[in-house]
């Protein structure tokens, strides 16, 4: 059941529009219910061949030799692709955005780094014949030590997974092995907090599991071009990736897609398109490369695992005064999109709350597992699980109702966020109030009277003195140089006088805790059943290495990008 | 590769095809017959996207050998609308917005049709039971269940 | 042995249209000579409704009925550049690009109408039903079809428009993480009621109550689709899904849907949703985009409800029966917290 609370924020909307806001039928619905919606695999092409991959059975191994002679003689086989057949056999997805270095081959040549990594591609008349030939390829491997746990991977002496990032971490700003968020002074605030709670959370790897599996059909088109039917979540993302890997001008490629049987982040990686087009180029025939369900589950990229450590300092009146987080994203063997996910995670911290002292380190860690990629809520779903479980524990710790606790700490219009931008258009308080009302969850009158529109800004908009890792200090009020991008509206900035050590007042007179059992007497509460103390490795400065092919870096200053 | 002649009736039309050894009925319907309404979702009989009716019974065509359909009558989602008139189930799926990506929809509709052909007024539990072989990753099932119940209760519904 | 009920809540926000990549989207809009418009995109509809929501946005901007607009996506030869459908950027980026393109096309359409009606284009308005008339004088009117014919065959104008929406990439300060990652956020709060079986470790979600704030709901039925389906996925992530059940151990991974578990139609919970609409300043007609964020509050709400029911904290997802039973065993059985927040538990505390 769905209701629209038109009464809320009514004065910010003009609800008298002709088409927007109307429950119009979907343009594609008639196609869906008649089974006529054309998905990529619904295109039948004469003489179509089928591509299947030989995959690594090892998590990490050196390839000693590859023998395809028996496979070549297998019935129906038209062509066998090896790494050497791929014009540019090293790529990273976000090179299109100049973010990260090429680190992943389309077909492995000298080493495999995860179980399921493609080594050889077979193109045959039928899927069955392709699979038969796959079973006849002989690859000799020398297994190598592998590492699977994100924190193990960061220890000295851990096996190095990815030759581009030898210390098992993605490199940010050319020098750091993690993304930093620093706002205020969490260590001092922990000293001042009534309670400190430190906990560990673990998010499992998850499969996007669209009902349509990944795939592409490529075919020679007239005039020396190639047509590609694809389920890619980004049509030009996939086209440009294919053009780069195959060293083709992009206008030689004609991609058709846009109608996709579910994606959820699992169809961004563009793994099928380059090999299918390469197959079409080398055979002159249409080539279909579609993952089966086992490959979808055990080879194509999942949402990676995440591990979160959260340490919070909270006052008896409900205010969280410090939050420190260490986040490890399990990237798998190659970067794909995890580097971006870690950045998005940091952009999201410390969650929808105004906390005056925040520190976070997010690591993108390489391990010998399937490379991870995007999934619905990428970079945020896992951290929200951690934060909101932590919030529940904190509420119980101080004996405050969890809903009231959210409202006390909720960010409001005019507050400054830890990444030093001012919040606007906020609505967390109202969501909590309405959800409580719907669930008949009792709230105090004070909590019901709160609003996202009021109580923010002022001292809550102060950017505090910020202690940096090198011992330096960013003074109160510091923000990076640069102007707001066009197309965005500058939030109304409250006039603030920098007051570095001014305590942040609570937005409301917080309800007095009424615990049935008295809260713990000691000031510092040890994390209950915390399995281990997080020991984030120190920021490592990576030595400057020789520029590699297509080396690209993420910017270190606002608004510019350099190669 | 040896091929097996297979004859069946599909959506009211007689067809004869030569199936490869081991070829699935789904593959034959999609590639030889050219009816792409049934979908490949898993090839393992665990998602239901390939569901068709054989002699009125719901079957997972991805795990049936093509030759097992010899002499049978097959119905797919392509056959639901007739002469420009959509089936009450299709109409109800539209009304309830019971599809998002649309990939599971043809299989889901066949599961629902098999149920309503036998049980014109099913309970919610019977509807749930009938679509338990069919996965949907988008909708959360609630609109699909409601659409099937609605179609049962209003068999004369037609699209506007 | 008993079943224990509990409730938990969680509140979240979600960045809409992250601009850490500086990735724009484009749109082209044009009319045929009978006044029917095509929107050409290379953006992707993977079920979230890209084609449908941009169709409504185009119709609204052009001032014509939605039936007179068709969205064509995605053909790289005809659809202009778009990075793709991810990072909750579809509605935000593509929607704004469509508005820009439709505005330009509308401008030509109004000029052509003005020439036919021999008035100033600034004095004209659309009625949303396929007519253009002089403001305050509805009888001085011309249909969009007549305008399109005139533009094509008499005036030699193309009723068309181009649009792009770009928020330049935000950099990130290496030392502090200072950045401008996003221009708007969606919000949610969700309450989950669960029942925990202390014999089997099974957790059943009985009921969800939620409030989602997602800017203007551009199409309420499609918003409902996302929220209902997304909350189902959140429930699935909380209790069922994993490709590595004993992470970081790589073994025991699923290979089919008998092993990769998700809640079936018999496992779903009634979900009462309230939608709040606080328009985003730079969203298309204030829309934000509910697609990604709607699953997120369910995961922690379910975990917190389990604590409320039996007193154990399970901090590793998914919360499988095995983890529940191990937690109960180490705690010495179900011990709900002594301060059960959230009011009376649904239908009593425990039932045999």
Q: What is the DSSP letter of A305?
A: P
Determine the angle formed by the axes of helices B88-95 and B142-153, rounding to 10 degrees.
140
d(CA B77, CA A36): 9
Q: Give me the pLDDT at residue A484, please.
A: 38
Residues C46, C48, C53, C54: is their CA dihedral positive or negative? negative
Average pLDDT, chain A: 88
Average pLDDT over residues A483-511: 41
Instruction: Sheet with C131-134: list strands edge to edge.
Output: C124-126, C131-134, C137-143
The larger pLDDT score, comparing residue C344 to residue A290, is at A290
Domain stop point among A273, A298, A323: A298
Q: Give me the pLDDT at residue A89, please.
A: 98
d(CA A327, CA A345): 9
Kind and range of the H or E run holding A273: helix A272-283
Burial class (CB in 10 A: 0-12, 13-18, 19+), A470: exposed
**Residue written as tokens 């918003």?**
C223
User: Domain B81-157 adopts which CATH fold?
Assistant: DNA polymerase; domain 1 (1.10.150)
- Is residue A164, in this structure, part of any structural domain at all? no
Interface test with C, best of B45, B49, B129, B140 (most C CBs within 10 A): B140
B90: which 2 tokens? 């299709």
**Across the interface, do A36 and B37 touch by the CB < 8 Å criterion?**
yes
C80: which 2 tokens? 């202009």
Domain stop point among A298, A331, A355: A298
pLDDT digits (tens, 9 = 90+) for A436-481: 999 999 999 999 999 999 999 999 999 999 999 999 999 999 998 7
d(CA C314, CA A183): 30
Q: CB-based contact (8 Å) between A209 and chain B?
A: yes
CB A56 within 8 A of CB A254: no
d(CA C51, CA C72): 7
Q: What percent of chain A is modeled with pLDDT above 70?
A: 85
- Position A492 pLDDT exceeds 70: no
pLDDT digits (tens, 9 = 90+) for A307-350: 999 999 999 999 999 999 999 999 999 999 999 999 999 999 99
**Across the interface, do C48 and B144 touch by the CB < 8 Å criterion?**
no
pLDDT digits (tens, 9 = 90+) for A141-159: 999 999 999 999 999 999 9
**Across the interface, do A234 and C86 touch by the CB < 8 Å criterion?**
yes
Same-domain check for residues A319 and A429: yes
B141: which 2 tokens? 């099932």
Domains and CATH numbers, chain C: 3-15+183-330 (3.30.365.10), 25-165 (3.30.365.10)
Same-domain check for residues A315 and A412: yes
CB A300 within 8 A of CB A291: yes
Q: Give me the pLDDT at residue A530, please.
A: 40
Same-domain check for residues A225 and A183: no
Average pLDDT over residues B65-75: 97
Distance of CA B72 to the CA centre of its chain: 15
Domain containing residue A419: CATH number: 3.30.365.10
CB A388 within 8 A of CB A298: no
**Across the interface, do C46 and B128 touch by the CB < 8 Å criterion?**
no
d(CA A125, CA A120): 17
Q: Give me the pLDDT at residue B157, please.
A: 66
What does the CA dihedral C54, C60, C61, C64 come to, rounded to 10 degrees? 110
Same-domain check for residues A241 and A187: no
**Across the interface, do A4 and C274 touch by the CB < 8 Å criterion?**
yes
- Position A486 pLDDT exceeds 70: no
* Among chain C residues, CA nearest to B145: C265
Same-domain check for residues A75 and A194: no
Q: Which chains would you list as touching A if contact means 3+ CB atom pairs under 8 Å?
A: B, C
CB B31 within 8 A of CB A42: no
Q: CB-based contact (8 Å) between A2 and chain B?
A: no
pLDDT band at B16 (very low <50, low <70, confident <90, very high): very high
Average pLDDT over residues A497-522: 44
Residues A462, A468, A471, A477: is their CA dihedral positive or negative? negative
d(CA C180, CA A420): 8
Same-domain check for residues A213 and A200: no
Please report the number of interchain residue pairs, chain B to chain C, with beta-carbon separation below 8 angstroms: 63
Same-domain check for residues A332 and A261: no
Average pLDDT over residues A105-110: 98
CB A105 within 8 A of CB A245: no
Domain stop point among A281, A298, A315: A298
pLDDT digits (tens, 9 = 90+) for A43-93: 989 999 999 999 999 999 999 999 999 999 999 999 999 999 999 999 999
Burial class (CB in 10 A: 0-12, 13-18, 19+), B139: buried
Q: Which chains would you list as touching C if contact means 3+ CB atom pairs under 8 Å?
A: A, B
Interface test with A, best of C79, C171, C220 (most A CBs within 10 A): C171
> Class assignment of domain B3-78?
alpha beta
- Position A549 pLDDT exceeds 70: no
Q: Give me the pLDDT at residue C345, please.
A: 56
Per-residue model confidence as pLDDT tens for chain C (352 residues): 799 999 999 999 999 988 777 789 999 999 999 999 999 999 999 999 999 999 999 999 999 999 999 999 989 999 999 988 888 888 999 999 999 999 999 999 999 999 999 999 999 999 999 999 999 999 999 999 999 999 999 999 999 999 999 988 888 999 999 998 888 999 999 999 999 999 999 999 999 999 999 999 999 999 999 999 999 999 999 999 999 999 999 999 999 999 999 999 999 999 999 999 999 999 999 999 888 999 999 999 999 999 999 999 999 999 999 999 999 999 999 999 987 777 655 554 443 3
Which residues on chain C are in Cβ contact (under 8 Å) with B145? Answer: 265
Same-domain check for residues A286 and A339: no
Kind and range of the H or E run holding C194: strand C184-197
Q: pTM of the full predicted structure?
A: 0.92
- Is residue A31, in this structure, part of any structural domain at all? no
Q: CB-based contact (8 Å) between A292 and chain B?
A: yes
- Position A160 pLDDT exceeds 90: yes
Residues C269, C274, C277, C280: is their CA dihedral positive or negative? negative
**Across the interface, do B1 and A35 touch by the CB < 8 Å criterion?**
no
pLDDT band at A482 (very low <50, low <70, confident <90, very high): low
Same-domain check for residues A192 and A270: no
Domain coordinates of chain B in residue numbers?
3-78, 81-157
pLDDT band at A499 (very low <50, low <70, confident <90, very high): very low
Kindly report the length of chain A: 563
> What are the phi and psi torsion angles at A293 (to 5°)?
-65, -35
Q: Cis peptide leading into A350, omega within 30 of 0?
A: yes
Which residues on chain B are in Cβ contact (under 8 Å) with C222? Answer: 97
Which residues on chain C are in Cβ contact (under 8 Å) with B101? Answer: 46-47
Average pLDDT over residues A116-121: 98
Which residues on chain A are in Cβ contact (under 8 Å) with B78? Answer: 34-36
CB B76 within 8 A of CB B110: yes
Q: Give me the pLDDT at residue C341, please.
A: 78
- Is residue A552, in this structure, part of any structural domain at all? yes
- Neighbouring-strand partners of residue A514: none
- Is residue A122, in this structure, part of any structural domain at all? yes
Same-domain check for residues A252 and A124: yes
Same-domain check for residues A238 and A362: no
- Position A540 pLDDT exceeds 80: no
Q: How many domains does chain A have?
A: 2
Q: Give me the pLDDT at residue C344, please.
A: 58
List residues in chain B touching C: CB distance below 8 A: 42, 44, 46-47, 97, 100-103, 125, 127-129, 131-132, 135, 137-145
CB B109 within 8 A of CB B93: yes
Q: Which chains would you list as touching B if contact means 3+ CB atom pairs under 8 Å?
A: A, C
pLDDT digits (tens, 9 = 90+) for A172-217: 999 999 999 999 999 999 999 999 999 999 999 999 999 999 999 9
Range of the domain at A124: 42-144+209-298
d(CA A189, CA A199): 18
- Is residue A161, in this structure, part of any structural domain at all? no
Domain containing residue A235: CATH number: 3.90.1170.50
Same-domain check for residues A349 and A388: yes
């Amino acid at each position: 059941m769905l209701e629209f609370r038109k009464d809320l924020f009514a004065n910010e909307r003009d609800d008298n529009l002709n088409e927007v806001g109307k429950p119009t039928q979907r343009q594609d619905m008639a196609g869906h219910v008649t089974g006529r919606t054309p998905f990529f695999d619904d295109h039948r092409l004469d003489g179509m061949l089928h591509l299947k991959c030989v995959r690594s059975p090892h998590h990490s191994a050196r390839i000693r030799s590859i023998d395809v002679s028996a496979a070549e003689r297998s019935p129906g086989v038209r062509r066998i692709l090896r790494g050497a057949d791929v014009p540019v056999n090293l790529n990273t997805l976000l090179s299109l955005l100049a973010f990260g270095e090429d680190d992943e081959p389309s077909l492995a040549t000298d080493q495999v780094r995860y179980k399921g990594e493609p080594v050889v591609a077979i193109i045959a008349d039928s899927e069955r014949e392709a699979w038969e030939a796959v079973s006849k390829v002989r690859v000799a491997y020398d297994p190598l030590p592998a590492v699977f746990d994100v924190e193990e991977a960061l220890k000295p002496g851990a096996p190095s997974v990815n030759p581009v990032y030898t210390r098992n971490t993605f490199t940010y700003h050319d020098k750091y092995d993690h993304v930093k968020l620093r706002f205020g002074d969490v260590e001092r605030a922990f000293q001042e907090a009534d309670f400190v709670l430190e906990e560990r959370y673990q998010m499992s790897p998850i499969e996007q599991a669209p009902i349509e599996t990944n795939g592409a059909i490529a075919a020679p088109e007239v005039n020396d071009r190639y047509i590609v039917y694809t389920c890619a979540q980004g049509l030009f993302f996939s086209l440009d990736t294919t053009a780069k890997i195959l060293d083709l001008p992009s206008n030689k490629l004609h991609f058709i897609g846009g109608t996709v049987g579910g994606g959820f982040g699992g169809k961004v990686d563009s793994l099928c398109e380059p090999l299918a087009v390469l197959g079409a180029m080398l055979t002159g025939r249409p080539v279909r490369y579609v993952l089966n369900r086992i490959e979808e589950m055990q080879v194509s990229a999942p949402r990676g695992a995440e591990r979160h450590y959260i340490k919070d300092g909270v006052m008896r009146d409900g205010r969280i005064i410090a939050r420190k987080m260490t986040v490890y994203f399990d990237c798998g063997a190659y970067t794909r999109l995890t580097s971006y996910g870690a950045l998005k995670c940091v952009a999201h911290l410390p969650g929808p709350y105004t906390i005056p002292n925040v520190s976070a380190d997010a690591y993108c860690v390489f391990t010998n597992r399937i490379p991870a990629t995007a999934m619905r809520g990428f970079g945020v779903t896992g951290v929200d699980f951690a934060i909101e479980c932590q919030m529940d524990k904190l509420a119980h710790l101080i004996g405050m109702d969890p809903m009231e606790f959210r409202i006390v700490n909720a960010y409001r219009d005019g507050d400054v966020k830890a990444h030093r931008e001012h919040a606007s258009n906020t609505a967390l308080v109202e969501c909590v109030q309405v959800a409580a009302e719907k669930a008949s969850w009792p709230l105090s009158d004070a909590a019901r009277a709160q609003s996202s529109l009021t109580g923010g800004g002022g001292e809550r908009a102060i950017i505090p003195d910020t202690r940096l890792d090198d011992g330096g200090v960013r003074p109160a009020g510091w923000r990076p140089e640069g102007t707001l991008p066009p197309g965005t509206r500058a939030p109304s900035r409250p006039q603030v006088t920098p007051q570095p050590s001014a305590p942040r007042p609570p937005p409301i007179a917080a309800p007095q805790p009424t615990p049935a059992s008295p809260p713990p007497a000691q000031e510092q509460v040890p994390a209950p059943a915390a399995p281990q103390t997080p020991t984030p490795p120190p920021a490592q400065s990576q030595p400057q290495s020789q520029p590699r092919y297509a080396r690209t870096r993420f910017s270190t200053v606002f608004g510019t990008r350099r190669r | 590769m040896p091929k097996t002649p297979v004859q069946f009736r599909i959506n009211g039309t007689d067809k004869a095809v030569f199936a490869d050894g081991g070829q699935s009925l789904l593959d034959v319907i999609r590639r030889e017959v050219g009816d792409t309404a049934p979908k490949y979702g898993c090839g393992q009989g665990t998602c239901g996207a390939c569901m068709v009716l054989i002699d009125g019974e719901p079957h997972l065509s991805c795990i049936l050998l093509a030759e097992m359909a010899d002499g049978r009558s097959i119905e797919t989602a392509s056959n639901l609308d007739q002469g420009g008139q959509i089936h009450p189930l299709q109409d109800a799926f539209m009304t309830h917005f019971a599809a998002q990506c649309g990939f599971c929809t043809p299989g889901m509709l066949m599961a629902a049709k098999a149920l309503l052909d036998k049980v014109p007024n099913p309970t919610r539990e019977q509807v749930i039971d009938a679509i338990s072989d069919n996965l949907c990753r988008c909708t959360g099932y609630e609109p699909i269940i409601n659409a099937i119940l609605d179609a049962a209760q209003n068999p004369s519904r037609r699209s506007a | 042995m008993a079943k224990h009920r509990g409730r938990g809540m969680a509140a979240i926000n979600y960045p809409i249209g992250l601009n850490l990549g500086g990735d724009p989207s484009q749109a082209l809009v044009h009319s045929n000579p009978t006044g029917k418009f095509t929107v050409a995109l290379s953006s992707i509809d993977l079920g979230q409704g890209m084609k449908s929501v941009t169709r409504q946005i185009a119709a609204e901007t052009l001032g014509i009925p939605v039936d007179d607009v068709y969205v064509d996506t995605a053909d790289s030869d005809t659809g202009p550049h778009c990075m793709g459908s991810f990072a909750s950027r579809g509605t935000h980026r593509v929607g704004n690009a469509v508005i820009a393109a439709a505005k330009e096309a509308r401008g030509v359409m109004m000029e052509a109408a003005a020439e036919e009606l021999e008035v100033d284009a600034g004095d004209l308005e659309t009625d949303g039903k396929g007519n253009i008339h002089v403001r305050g004088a509805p009888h001085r009117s011309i249909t969009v079809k007549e305008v399109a014919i005139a533009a094509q065959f008499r005036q030699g104008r193309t009723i068309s428009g181009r649009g792009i929406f770009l928020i330049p990439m935000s950099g990130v300060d290496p030392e502090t993480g200072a950045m401008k990652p996003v221009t708007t956020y969606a919000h949610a709060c969700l309450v989950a009621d669960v029942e925990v079986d202390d014999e089997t470790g099974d957790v059943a979600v009985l009921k969800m109550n939620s409030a989602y704030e997602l800017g203007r709901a551009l199409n309420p039925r499609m918003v409902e689709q996302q929220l209902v389906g997304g909350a189902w996925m959140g429930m699935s992530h909380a209790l069922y899904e994993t490709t590595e059940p004993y992470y970081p151990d790589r073994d025991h991974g699923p290979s089919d849907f008998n092993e990769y578990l998700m809640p079936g139609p018999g496992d779903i919970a009634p979900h009462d949703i309230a939608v709040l609409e606080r328009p985003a300043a730079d969203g298309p007609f204030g829309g934000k985009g509910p697609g990604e964020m709607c699953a997120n509050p369910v995961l922690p709400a379910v975990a917190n409800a389990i604590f409320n029911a039996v007193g154990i904290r399970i901090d590793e997802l998914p919360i499988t029966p095995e983890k529940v039973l191990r937690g109960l065993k180490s705690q010495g059985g179900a011990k709900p917290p002594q301060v059960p927040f959230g009011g009376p538990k649904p239908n009593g505390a425990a039932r045999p």
